[in-house]
Structure 1
Amino acid sequence: MKSMILTMAVGLLLSAGNLLAQDIPHSHVPSVIVNKFSAQFPKARDIDWEQKGELYNVEFELGRNVDHEIWYDKNGQIVKHKEEINKSSLPAGVTSTLQRDFKGYRVDDIEKITEGTAVTYKMELDSFTKDWNIIMDARGKILQQNAD
């Protein structure tokens, strides 16, 4: 009985998730958003659109398989932009914190996240004994640190 209830609960949660974020064809994205996206990222490829509530989310690649994810509002304004970056692109404050507090860790899966004027850096830090998911601001202040 418990497993049947659990199965039903999981099914309902998955259904609710599908209602919140749905893949949509390019033709269903408002033209103001498509026009701004095309102007800002003319070389984008592997483009996938979703609608999440009132926001339009696009995932795409630029350059040599550099992943990007952007959320647009209905007026075509960027609300949030995640982009994959290299360790060499991290600001000096972040690099300094990594060298001081995480010596010996391998830095992996780095994302630069821009929301309005706020820029943060999300990354995985891996070692033989412990792994972390870290978010820092550009000065290297740790905003969030969770064991992985």
Structure 2
Amino acid sequence: MNTKKYFIGTAAIIIIGVAIYMYYIYTNAPEGARNGFAQKFPDIASAGWMKESTNEWEAEFDMNGEEYAAIFTEDGTWVRTEHEIEEKDLPEKVWNLLNEKFKDYRIDEIEYVENADSSTGYNIELEKDEELRIFISSEGELVSLREE
């Protein structure tokens, strides 16, 4: 009986600890990243933050009734912004490439991406027997492909 209480108590402490840590990470991005966000999106009052990688943080926020994500380095440098779009919003050049190289795949998700180097494109998740994530430039060129 005591062993059962011990395990339940330990599990509860672990769960609470993980929840506190996730809340901390979600709300406590570095000041540089928060300042970079405030400069890039001055009209957005708040964002939820998540650590994206070793030096990058993702801000999730609503803009114009849509959900957006923007990536910033810890020093506040903007890396990219992305938001989901619908298939009907893909340009013809992108559709041409999809029909040529991936016609047997089903589109799972599409994100429009604006990069700091002024390039734009589309992150597209495709599904068939395997899942693929591709990036197609706005000019209709396949930039990257990886299996998920």
TM-score by length of 2: 0.61
Task: Please name the residue that 1:89 is paired with.
Answer: 89
What CA RMSD, in Å, does the superposition of the two structures yield over aligned residues?
3.4
1 or 2, which has the higher strand percentage?
1
Residues 32 and 110 of structure 1: is their aligned pair in 2 closer, same or farther, counting only changes over 3 Å?
A: closer
Give, in whole Å, the separation in 1 of the partners of 2:146 and 2:73.
30
1:49 deviates by: 2.6
1:94 deviates by: 0.8
1:143 and 2:146 matched = no
Task: Please name the residue that 2:67 is paired with.
Answer: 67
1:107 and 2:111 matched = no
Give, in whole Å, the separation in 1 of the partners of 2:98 and 2:133.
13
Q: Any conservation in 1 of the 2:37–2:78 contact (CA below 8 Å)?
A: no
Give, in whole Å, the separation in 2 of the partners of 1:62 and 1:114.
15
TM-score by length of 1: 0.61
- Unaligned regions of 5+ residues in structure 2, if any? 1-20
Larger-gyration structure (1/2):
2
Query: What SS is found at the alignment partner of 1:22?
Result: helix
Give, in whole Å, the separation in 2 of the partners of 1:133 and 1:87.
15
Give, in whole Å, the separation in 1 of the partners of 2:131 and 2:39.
41
Query: What SS is found at the alignment partner of 2:59?
Result: strand
Query: What SS is found at the alignment partner of 2:99?
Result: helix
Task: Please name the residue that 2:134 is paired with.
Answer: 134
1:22 and 2:25 matched = yes
Residues 130 and 36 of structure 1: is their aligned pair in 2 closer, same or farther, counting only changes over 3 Å?
A: closer
Task: Please name the residue that 2:12 is paired with.
Answer: none
Query: How many pairs align?
Result: 123
Alignment-mate amino acid for residue 141 of structure 1? E
Q: Any conservation in 2 of the 1:71–1:79 contact (CA below 8 Å)?
A: yes
Residues 60 and 141 of structure 1: is their aligned pair in 2 closer, same or farther, counting only changes over 3 Å?
A: same
Q: Any conservation in 1 of the 2:120–2:137 contact (CA below 8 Å)?
A: yes
1:130 deviates by: 3.7
Give, in whole Å, the separation in 2 of the partners of 1:131 and 1:32.
34
Residues 139 and 133 of structure 1: is their aligned pair in 2 closer, same or farther, counting only changes over 3 Å?
A: same
